[in-house]
Amino acid sequence: MNKLMTDVHEILLTREEIEDKVQELGKTLAAEYYDKRPLLVCVLKGALIFMADLSRAMNIPLEVDFMAVSSYGVSTKSSGVVRILKDLETSIEGRHVLIVEDIIDTGLTLNYLIENLKFRKPASLKICTLLDKPSRRRVQLQPDYCGFVIPDEFVIGYGLDFSEIYRNLPFIGVLKPEAYQ
Ligand code: PRP
Ligand code: 7HP
């Protein structure tokens, strides 16, 4: 068996389901932002694959920038302490900013990021996440655009990792509990 597959309990979202959803989100976002030259802010590392596909599904002028924050380290539980590992290169004052995330879980990472970016006076600040796990939320936070609402299971693939691996799986799968217990 493919070595990457041995720790996958089940496939939650297939490559095709993800592709269809990304195209749909791209069309919606292109209509919303067609005359706004938005700045897409990719939250590294998890959102890198979603960002690459989503930006290409938006057929309008846009810019991209990257932030790296970390709250999970090598664990499956959020520490709640968010650190900025890499900041934006662009000033966002007066810009239409769309944060692109792979997953909202407790919401602690995004909550921190939103407060931090609001302070820089963007013209607008919205959130697009591929996955939302609302059952685990510890702060009140709703994405403006969301691909899939998922149950409380630790997922990997399409950018999402466990202990830095599995990001290159083309689908989203549930990690076998024995892999991290
Ligand atoms: C993951 C994910 C989100 C965050 C969501 O990032 O990419 O940014 O956790 O969790 P929360 O809603 O509970 O805060 P992680 O810190 O694992 O870094 P990574 O993207 O580099 O894997
Ligand atoms: C972070 C994260 N990373 C990978 N898989 C999940 O289910 C996750 N929740 N929060």
Ligand 2 proximity of 158 Cβ (cutoff 6 Å): no
Q: 160 CB under 6 A from ligand 2?
A: yes
pLDDT of 170 reads 97
Tens of pLDDT, residue by residue over 74-132, are: 555 666 678 899 999 999 999 999 999 999 999 999 999 999 999 999 999 999 999 99
pLDDT of residue 75: 59
CA–centroid distance, residue 132 to ligand 2 (Å): 10
Annotated catalytic residue within 53, 102, 105, 132: 105
The finding on whether 105 has its CB within 6 A of some atom of ligand 2 is yes
105 is catalytic: yes
SS (H, E, C) 138-171: CCCCCCCEEEEECCCCCEEECCECECCECCCCCC
Show me where the domains of the chain are located. Answer: 15-153
For domain 15-153, give the fold: Rossmann fold (3.40.50)
